[in-house]
């Protein structure tokens, strides 16, 4: 599977990359194949839709749906007479939010690693807890234990600048810095992803197709 497009979540005034699918339990319980009612899908969006979400008053709302052509999906095709914003009262579980610089890139699903991970724990739409994790510490612990002892891996990077994980072992400049590994001369690492400002600029035009909760929802 190709790396997949994120869902997006507005939380505490920030636009976040949401790497969870809180709509899927609803679709599965009702046997709805959303790709059949959208404009198709791409290899970077196998699910056929992008969900836009917001946490408002400690509750999770679906505020919009776009297809892979960035066109709005009519909520009636999924929810009947319900209209956005729709409280996600069907969802209980954990939401995974990735923040900050990308440390490593994996061309599959949502396997890339970022500097910070925020987890929101949801019970029938209500946020009941949240935890934040410094992924840089995890990266350092995991890869030092695995690869620092792997002479063949280090030799491949030194000689070829690549491995089965991709250029520079799949690490970005930020990831290499965390590991304390020098860049390989003449080899460009994977980019570190979008800044918060770049992410907001990308998502804001799509939010025009969304309806946010609260008295000033738009």
Instruction: Report the candidate in 96, 172, 171, 94 with the shortest Cα–Cα distance to residue 133.
Output: 96
Residues 147 and 52 placed together within one structural domain of the fold: no
Out of 105-114, 130-139, 149-158, least confident range? 149-158
In angstroms, the CA 43 to CA 38 distance is 15
> In this structure, are 121 and 142 located in the same domain?
no
By C-alpha distance, which of 88, 97, 28 is closest to 63? 88
Q: Is residue 83 part of a domain?
A: yes
Same domain, 156 and 64: no
Q: Taking residues 14-22, what's their average pLDDT? A: 97
216 is a domain residue: no
- Token code pair at residue 66: 């776009």
**Region 13-26: what's the mean pLDDT?**
96
Please give the tally of structural domains in the chain: 2
pLDDT in tens, 162-218: 777 777 778 898 998 898 877 777 778 888 999 999 999 999 999 999 999 987 555
Residue 38 has pLDDT above 80, yes or no: no
What average pLDDT is seen over the chain? Answer: 89
Q: What is the dihedral of CA 18, 38, 1, 115, to 10 degrees?
A: -10
Q: Is residue 63 part of a domain?
A: yes
pLDDT tens digits for 196-205?
Answer: 999 999 999 9
Kindly state whether residues 150 and 173 are assigned to the same domain.
Answer: yes
* pTM for the structure as a whole: 0.89
Q: Looking at the domain assignment, is residue 187 inside a domain?
A: no
Closest CA to 6 of 95, 93, 94, 85: 95
């Amino acid at each position: 599977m190709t790396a997949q497009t994120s869902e997006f979540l507005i939380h505490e005034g920030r636009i976040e990359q949401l790497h969870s699918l809180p709509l899927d339990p609803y679709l599965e319980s009702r046997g709805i194949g959303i790709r059949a009612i959208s404009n198709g899908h791409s290899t970077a969006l196998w699910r056929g839709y992008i969900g836009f979400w917001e946490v408002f008053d400690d509750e999770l709302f679906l505020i919009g749906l776009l297809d892979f052509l960035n066109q709005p999906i009519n909520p009636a095709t999924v929810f009947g007479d319900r209209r956005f914003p729709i409280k996600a009262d069907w969802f209980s579980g954990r939401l995974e939010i990735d923040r900050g610089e990308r440390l490593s890139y994996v061309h599959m699903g949502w396997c890339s690693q970022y500097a910070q991970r925020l987890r929101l724990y949801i019970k029938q739409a209500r946020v009941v807890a949240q935890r934040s994790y410094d992924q840089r510490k995890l990266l350092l612990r995991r890869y030092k234990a695995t690869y620092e002892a792997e002479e063949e891996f280090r030799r491949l990077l030194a000689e070829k600048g690549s491995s089965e994980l991709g250029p520079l072992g799949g690490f970005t400049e930020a990831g290499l810095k965390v590991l304390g590994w020098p860049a390989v001369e003449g080899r460009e690492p994977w980019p570190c992803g979008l800044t918060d400002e770049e992410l907001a600029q990308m998502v804001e035009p799509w939010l025009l197709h969304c309806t946010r909760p609260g008295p000033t929802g738009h």
